[in-house]
Amino acid sequence: MKHYVILDCEDSETWDPERYYTMHKPIMGKEHAEEAWSLLHIARGDKVPALSDPPQYDGIVITGSRHNVRDELPWMGPLCALIQDVSRNEKNANVRLYGGCFGAQIIAHALGGKWTAIQGVVSVLAQSVSVRSRIVLKRCGFCMNVTVIV
């Protein structure tokens, strides 16, 4: 059975985490009886998971947030460590990683990228990421909010 986890990065009560849960499920593949989905509210106090050996997740979805990577909130360090573990350890080569909006920013940040605000619009620029990280970004079809310079 495949197991996916959605890491909810929003702590505002006005954002409906269940909406993100149902919105992101199709991204990882067609849902079927052989899939299990978990939802962790990491911005509201749920612990950021660590990957076991073998990894307990087949895919990780990192949601949007009203926060940005410069906020340096307590849960962002562990989230960056998880992203780095997925991208840099061969044992995690089959773990799919997806970040939408803020999720894309934090993935780029964790992998050494820089982002800047340009005319009031947030733009992500990943400048010097490792070869392994570039492979992960390409494997995930990662291009929505990130420009990768290779």
Question: Taking the alpha carbons of 54, 78, 58, 133 in that order, is the dihedral positive or negative?
Answer: negative
20-49 tens-digit pLDDT: 556 655 555 555 668 888 889 999 999 999
Closest CA to 61 of 96, 17, 113: 96
Residue 127 structure tokens:
């400048």
pLDDT digits (tens, 9 = 90+) for 74-103: 999 999 999 999 998 888 888 999 888 899
Domain around 137: 2-148
Which CATH number fits the domain that encloses residue 39?
3.40.50
Both structure tokens of 146: 């990130």
pTM: 0.71
Query: Are 42 and 73 contacting, i.e. CB atoms less than 8 angstroms apart?
Result: no
Q: Which pLDDT score, from 0 to 100, does residue 55 have? A: 86
Q: How many residues does the chain have?
A: 150
Nearest-angstrom CA–CA distance, 46 and 104: 20
CB 38 within 8 A of CB 3: yes
- Which pLDDT tens digit goes with each residue over 101-130? 899 889 999 999 876 665 554 444 444 444
Domain count, the chain: 1
Q: Which whole number is the average pLDDT over 13-21?
A: 63
Q: Is the pLDDT of residue 148 over 70?
A: no
Q: Which residues of 15-37 are buried (b: 16+ CB within 10 A; e: fewer)?
A: bebeebbeebbeebeeeeeebeb
Asked if residue 61 has pLDDT above 60, the reply is yes
